[in-house]
Amino acid sequence: MRITLNVWRQKNARDAGGFEKYDCPNVSEDMSFLEMLDVVNEDLIAKGRDPIAFDHDCREGICGMCGFMISGVAHGPESGTTVCQLHMRKFKDGDELWLEPWRAKGFPIIRDLTVDRSALDRIVASGGFVSVHTGSAIDGNAIPVPKPNADLAMDAAQCIGCGACVAACPNASASLFTSAKISHLALLPQGQPERDRRAINMVERMNAEGFGHCTNIGECEAVCPKEIKIENIARMNRDYLCASFKKRPEVKRVED
Amino acid sequence: MSTASQSVSDAGPLARFLSSTLGKKTVMAVTGFIMFGFVVGHLVGNLQVFAGDGGVKLNAYAAFLKNTPALLWGTRIVVGFSLIAHVWAAAGLKRLSNEARPVQYKMHKHLQSTAASKNMFWGGISLFFYIIYHLLHLTVGVASPIAGSFSHTNIYGNMIASFQNPALVAVYVFAMFALGMHLYHGLYSLFQTLGLSHPAYMPRIRLGAKVFGALIAIGFSSMPVAILLGAVK
Ligand code: FES
């Protein structure tokens, strides 16, 4: 099949960037989208031109490295799928596609389709952890966890941090990501000691990274390759609200 | 501890809450709900225009409100304050959202969001200007088309005189359509914002928001339309 690609090319963060057109006459429908780009890149390299930069790692939909917009939809037209797991059979012969990087202030462009998503790492670092004791390992079933909670926590923990939710949101909000990271710990007994602090710190970090607010419209949920639900955002809001009202002034350390 | 984080934690808890996106969203949800409550009361009171008594009931209701300043001014202050807080939070959030995506997509498809949810900001702006006009028109009585003949006691007469004008009726009906859409997304959204979400009752909340939005829009529109058509004289 024949596919025409319009790819966003941008040398670095300061370059203005623009679309370039590529004609791909021999695309096999068994290729994944990234394999198709590999073929385009081999061709570009053979011609002595710069290959298209795009992020990828596992290519099996579990690491969260890949992702860009395909004709206005994060990760392309197949729902619940990362772009590395998207196959060319989902497109028609003669299709013209537009590839763009995630666009958000919190995701500065590194080159072409790759963006810097370390803002998401900083959100996790601000509160996405639990305290554990460092003695001998405790018995596996010592802490009872209700099955429904374990399931919900697992659903939230599926988030691979690809950033598609930010990319799809009209406000470039990172609420789905942050709420998934808050939820998968808040739903488990091990996450309770830091629950309030976690909600406050992660939400404030999310705001400080320059992501927008959530208008509850659900575009993030529609593109999430792991099908994380916006119910998690409600849980984050609830935790943040309660934590803000329960918060007491911290005891200040006396400087010596 | 860095000076930056020091200054954040030194700010009072309320200031800190209000400076966050979720704090502002909470303000929008709570004040929006207060204004929704007012709109329901306003509609129920005004539907007395259909009493068929030439406005005796409606004017008596208006007189009752005037003679109960605690109720009238209490409501005006609470609703006025809610409106200001709602607009303040919306403006702050809109500014953040504009900054959050400095470069726009060439192509961006919307998969799931409703028209109501995408037009909250511009719908809200339209409603804001409508409210100013509406107050000047039927509360203060200085806006056309009845600026000269406005009566502070015969509000029924004010309505009948105004809504003979098809253009004005169109403006009111359009504003009420915008209000219905705004309430449809707003009523659903406030549950999500306040964290009152559960998969079992979210579909019902969505349906309830749709029904209330439609009822309010139809209820308010019915008055100017009925007057224009001569059903209420
Ligand atoms: S490359 Fe790992 S999820 Fe796509």
Mapped to the 3 state alphabet, what secondary structure does A47-87 carry? CCCCCCCCCCCCCCCCCCCCCCEECCEECCCCCCCCHHHCE
The residue with tokens 């999430």 is: A224
pLDDT of residue B10: 56
What mean pLDDT is predicted for residues A99-103?
A: 97
What residue segments make up the domains of chain B, in order of their start? 17-228
pLDDT of residue A255: 62
Q: Is B95 exposed, middle or buried (0-12, 13-18, 19+ CB in 10 A)?
A: exposed
Model pLDDT for residues A194-211, shown as the tens digit of each residue: 999 999 999 999 999 999
3-class DSSP state of B102? coil
Residues A42, A47, A49, A53: what is their CA dihedral angle, to the nearest 10 degrees? -10
Model pLDDT for residues B12-62, shown as the tens digit of each residue: 778 888 889 999 999 999 999 999 999 999 999 999 999 989 899 999 999
At B4, the pLDDT band (50, 70, 90 cuts) reads very low
Q: Which of A241, A246, A252, A253 should be substituted to probe chain B, the one whose Cβ sees the most B Cβ atoms within 10 Å?
A: A241
Which tokens belong to A129? 């952890």
Ligand 1 atom showing the smallest separation from residue A57 Cα: 1
pLDDT surpassing 60 at residue A106: yes
Order of all β-strands in the sheet with A69-70: A18-24, A3-9, A96-100, A69-70, A73-74
Element (H, E) at B163: none
Beta strands in chain A (DSSP E): 3-9, 18-24, 69-70, 73-74, 96-100, 109-111, 114-115
**What letter represents residue B139's amino acid?**
T
What mean pLDDT is predicted for residues A49-67?
A: 96
3-class DSSP state of A234? helix
Contact (Cβ atoms closer than 8 angstroms) between residue A129 and residue A167: no
Determine the residue of A56, A75, A223 to mutate for testing ligand 1's pocket, defined as the one with the most ligand atoms within 8 A of the Cβ atom.
Answer: A56
In Å, how far is B188's CA from the nearest CA of chain A? Answer: 9
**CATH number belonging to the domain at B17-228, selected among 2.40.128, 1.20.1300, 1.10.3470, 2.30.230:** 1.20.1300
Domains defined along chain A, listed by start: 3-110 (3.10.20.30), 117-247 (1.10.1060.10)
Which tokens belong to A85? 């797991």
pLDDT of residue A245: 86
When mean pLDDT is compared across A56-65, A181-190, B114-123, B132-141, the lowest value belongs to: B114-123
First to last CA, chain B: 72
CA angle A210–A216–A220, rounded 5-degree value: 70
Q: Is B115 exposed, middle or buried (0-12, 13-18, 19+ CB in 10 A)?
A: exposed
| Spacing, Cα A137 to ligand 1 middle (Å) | 33
CB contact under 8 A, B101 and A172: yes
Instruction: State how far the Cα of B64 lies from the Cα of B134, in Å rounded to an integer.
Output: 21
At A254, the pLDDT band (50, 70, 90 cuts) reads low
pLDDT surpassing 90 at residue A141: no
Nearest CA in chain A to B201: A231
pLDDT of residue A135: 86
| Spacing, Cα A224 to ligand 1 middle (Å) | 13
CA angle A202–A208–A211, rounded 5-degree value: 90
Ligand 1 atom showing the smallest separation from residue A63 Cα: 2
pLDDT of residue B208: 96
Q: Which residues neighbour A215 within 8 Å (Cβ) at sequence distance 6 or greater?
A: A170, A171, A173, B117, B120, B189
Nearest CA in chain B to A17: B103
Helices B69-100 + B120-134 axis angle, to 10: 150
B196 contacts in A (CB within 8 Å)?
Answer: 234, 238
Which tokens belong to A115? 């963006």
Ligand 1 atom showing the smallest separation from residue A160 Cα: 3
Which tokens belong to A35? 């394999």
Model pLDDT for residues B165-201, shown as the tens digit of each residue: 999 999 999 999 999 999 999 999 999 999 998 888 9
The residue with tokens 């015969």 is: B154
**Mean pLDDT estimate for chain A:** 93
Q: Is A226 exposed, middle or buried (0-12, 13-18, 19+ CB in 10 A)?
A: buried
* ipTM exceeds 0.90, yes or no: no
Model pLDDT for residues B140-160, shown as the tens digit of each residue: 989 878 888 899 889 999 999
pLDDT surpassing 90 at residue A188: yes
Q: Which of A18, A20, A59 lies closest to A36, judged by CA?
A: A59
What mean pLDDT is predicted for residues A96-105?
A: 96
At B126, the pLDDT band (50, 70, 90 cuts) reads very high
Model pLDDT for residues B56-112, shown as the tens digit of each residue: 999 999 999 999 999 999 999 999 999 999 999 999 999 999 999 999 999 999 988
Contact (Cβ atoms closer than 8 angstroms) between residue A87 and residue A73: no
pLDDT of residue B148: 84
pLDDT surpassing 90 at residue B5: no
Cβ A66 under 6 angstroms from ligand 1: yes
Strand partners, A100: A69
Which tokens belong to A84? 């590395």
The residue with tokens 């303000």 is: B27
What mean pLDDT is predicted for residues A123-138?
A: 90
pLDDT of residue A134: 85
Distances (CA, A) of B42 to B45, B58, B78: 5, 12, 14
Q: Which of A181, A197, A169, A190 lies closest to A232, judged by CA?
A: A181
pLDDT surpassing 60 at residue A70: yes
At A56, the pLDDT band (50, 70, 90 cuts) reads very high
Instruction: State how far the Cα of A183 lies from the Cα of A61, in Å rounded to an integer.
Output: 22
Contact (Cβ atoms closer than 8 angstroms) between residue B186 and residue B36: yes
